[in-house]
A and B are shown apart, each in its own frame.
Chain A
Amino acid sequence: MMEEEEGAEEQQRFSYQQRLKAAVHYTVGCLCEEVASDKEMQFSKQTIAAISEVTFQQCENFAKDLEMFARHAKRSTINTEDVKLLARRSNSLLKYITEKNEDIAQFNLERKAKKKKKLEDENKNSVEPAEAGVVESEN
């Protein structure tokens, strides 16, 4: 009975993995298409499948490394420092990732500032008449 349950779980995990692989394959296909049209070169279907396979396998290495880096720093949440550590092997890669990290941080900062301002403007509009009422009652 236990074996059956384990077998079913294995099946589920396998088909989940297959779905993820398919999603990666689609994404890789999109990216390769952009490169192909830019460089005016064609990719054979097998090449795209191979790149997709390698990418999926590389994700496993990345995930395990990231988990270890975070655990080494006594954290359970992986942060950008861990990702930067992952990109250490090539100088230009590290530089690119560090720049991208700053772009992302900057972008998120601006987005938060816009949201905060929007919230403040909305509060200002709804609070003003109430404040006037409070001031009057205090006098």
Chain B
Amino acid sequence: MTLVLHTFRPPWMGSRGRVAEGWVGSLVCGKRERVCRNRAGELVSKLLHLHFKDDKTKVSGDALQLMAELLKIFVVEAAIRSVRQAQAEDLAQVGVEQLEKVLPQLLLDF
């Protein structure tokens, strides 16, 4: 199944060249601010380190940024696929039932 993100390119995505900065930033506050980038990195770093078994495990800066991207895509895919499901069912609001229907495929894709 193709990434919905590719077919529905929302207006806030911007052109490829400028995406790197905006994306990592928007993980935290949805704004394209460079300040946000550090906060996003911090949260992702804490989330990963929480589950590491070895104390010596570290994450490179680039890998951290990439992980922030991956997590953002995960959330946005979950959201967009649920919306699609709700639209297909002619609903005005996205409920947990819609999310439950798209969750299996989402988890298989990730």
Interface residues, chain A, CB within 8 Å of chain B? 16-17, 20, 23-24, 27-28, 30-36, 38-39, 41-44, 46-47, 50-51, 54-56, 58-60, 62-64, 66-67, 70-71, 76-80, 82-84, 86-87, 89-90, 92-93, 96-97, 99-101, 103-108
Contact = CB atoms under 8 A, between A and B. Distances in A.
B10 A78 contact: no
- The DSSP consensus for interface residues of chain A is helix
Given A63-B52, A90-B1, A92-B3, A33 B86 contact: no
A97 B66 CA distance: 7
B53 A64 contact: yes
A42 B98 CA distance: 12
Given A41-B86, A59-B51, A83-B70, A103 B16 contact: yes
A107 B16 CA distance: 12
In terms of DSSP, what is the predominant structure of the interface of chain B? helix
6 contacts: A24-B43, A24-B47, A67-B57, A80-B63, A97-B70, A105-B62
B90 to A, nearest CB: 12
Contact of A20 (B11, B47, B61): B47
Given A103-B19, A108-B62, A96 B6 contact: yes
Contacts of A103: 16-17, 19-20
A41 to B, nearest CB: 5
A136 to B, nearest CB: 45
CB-CB nearest 4 A-B residue pairs: A63-B51, A103-B20, A92-B3, A90-B109
B63 A34 contact: no
Nearest to B30: A30
A85 to B, nearest CB: 11
B70 to A, nearest CB: 6
A38 B66 contact: no
A24 B27 CA distance: 10
A21 B20 CA distance: 25
B99 A79 contact: no
Contacts of A105: 62
